[in-house]
Amino acid sequence: MMTRIHHSIVRNTVTALMIAGLIFNTSACDQVVEPVEIPVGVILPLSGTLGVAGQRILNGMDLALEEINAREPFRLRFIIEDSESNIDSALIAYSRLADEHRVPVIIGPATSSETERAIPLINNKKVATISPTAARSGLSAQSEFLFLSSLTVGRTVPEGVRISKKHLGYKNVATLVNKVDAFSVSSNDFITQELGTYSDVTIVHAASYRLPQGTDFGDITAQLTAIQNAVPTPDVIFLSALPEGRTGTLVAAHRFGLRIPFIVNFISIDVIHDVNDAEPGAAEGVITFQVWLPNSTVEASRKFVDNYHSKFGEEPGDFAARGYAAVTVLGEALNRVSMYDAASIRDGLAEIREFNSIFGSFSFDENGDAVTSPVIAQVQNNKFDVLGE
């Protein structure tokens, strides 16, 4: 039979063990597990001729960074390199991020020309790479580590030509292209090819100019004169150019007195505002084939617009949207993997299907190209109105 003394000893021992266990559990609960930090390389043109566009892309990326770091079990940290709107600088930045900072993933480069030139580096360094704005078709097929989170011209042009032709009824067409830019050439090639499928459409004049990336826009009076004097007179002009070429061409054409409507693949509402500020009315009536518009009814997009306005005090344009989308797509990929090395991130990106993005349902195809629905719109009163069926 247990004596009072024995009972007391047992009771005191049990109590001591319970207290010790409580202290241990409390200490364990008090321990804070630090989230894993993932360095993300960023290559954007933050200065030079594309500096304004680059800053807008970065604004969208910064907003996505804040949102992801506030809710996910990991933390992203940007290591930012300025490509200075220069292809060679973009390549140097890529090598520095891969070799010195050893990042597992890079967002950028921004332009198709930079991205195309970076493909040998991407294949050699084997860093998961997402270009937020490159749109030349065929780039991502050249590297298993390269993904384009914006639509390529191969996906925007067929739908854009079909809908714009329905609304404008054009038959005689002129084209104008920057012959030394990868995106512009790809866009013009697809436009020419698609127009060739319509038996009632004729390209009456094909004009070009040469504006290397990072170069100030020059004089295109000769090209505009040739288009104006074409016989028969063109009903529309398809322009394929980078932002500085889009702004320069629309302003120059309006000052020249050319009143033929322009169709401009991937022109941003930001550029439309810049054009109309420089030359009031110069962008009115322009039609674009785009990936996103600020008045999108997609729920994720409406939240993005509201949050962007709260942070920056203005409505976002598509450059900000494409920067935001690239980071959120990366966040989705990181949620799909258990390790954060480059190969795992690449695999996570490749698996993305029907992700609820600000563009709507978003997937990557087998090559790493974005799959989502393009938007066809026309400028009316300094804003885009969607052109429906």
The predicted-structure confidence for 87-107, as pLDDT tens digits, reads as follows 999 999 999 999 999 999 999
109 contacts 115 by C-beta, under 8 angstroms: yes
Query: Could you report the per-residue pLDDT of 171-194, keeping only the tens digit for each?
Result: 999 999 999 999 999 999 999 999
Q: 3-state DSSP call for residue 289?
A: strand
- The conformation of residue 150, written as its DSSP 8-state character, comes to S
Cβ distance 298 to 358 under 8 Å? yes
- Averaged pLDDT of the chain: 92
Write the DSSP symbol of residue 336: T
pLDDT above 70 (res 6): no
Q: How far is CA 301 from CA 122, 292, 372, in A?
A: 31, 9, 14
The answer on pLDDT for 53 being more than 90 is yes
Supply the angle between the helices 299-312 and 318-334 in degrees, to the nearest 10: 110
pLDDT of 11 > 80? The answer is no
3-class SS of residue 281: coil
Q: How confident is the model at residue 213 (pLDDT cuts 50, 70, 90)?
A: confident
Please name the residues in contact with 297: beta carbons below 8 A apart, sequence gap of 6 or more.
none
User: Under a CB-based contact definition with an 8 Å cutoff, are residues 220 and 239 in contact?
Assistant: no
pLDDT of residue 389: 76
Q: 223 and 176 in contact (C-beta within 8 Å)? A: yes
8 Cβ contact list (under 8 Å, min separation 6): none
Among residues 342, 352, 316, which one has the least CA distance to residue 62?
A: 316
Q: Is the pLDDT of residue 374 over 80?
A: yes
Read off the pLDDT band of 30 (50, 70, 90): low
List pLDDT tens digits, range 105-147. 999 999 999 999 999 999 999 999 999 999 999 999 999 999 9
Q: Is the pLDDT of residue 29 over 60?
A: no
| pLDDT at 31 (0 to 100) | 59
Find how far residue 93's CA is from the centre of its chain.
19
pLDDT at residue 2 greater than cutoff 60: no
pLDDT in tens, 230-244: 999 999 999 999 999
pLDDT band at 14 (very low <50, low <70, confident <90, very high): very low
Closest by Cα among 378, 355, 331, 380 to 38: 331
Confidence grade of residue 32 (pLDDT, cut at 50, 70, 90): low
Residue 7 has pLDDT above 90, yes or no: no
What does the radius of gyration of the chain's CA atoms come to, in whole angstroms?
26
Burial class (CB in 10 A: 0-12, 13-18, 19+), 344: middle
Kindly give the pairing relationship between strand 202-209 and strand 236-240: unpaired
- Distance from C-alpha of 198 to C-alpha of 66, rounded to nearest angstrom: 47
Q: Is the pLDDT of residue 76 over 90?
A: yes
Give mean pLDDT, residues 307-325.
Answer: 96
C-beta separation of 371 from 360 below 8 A: no
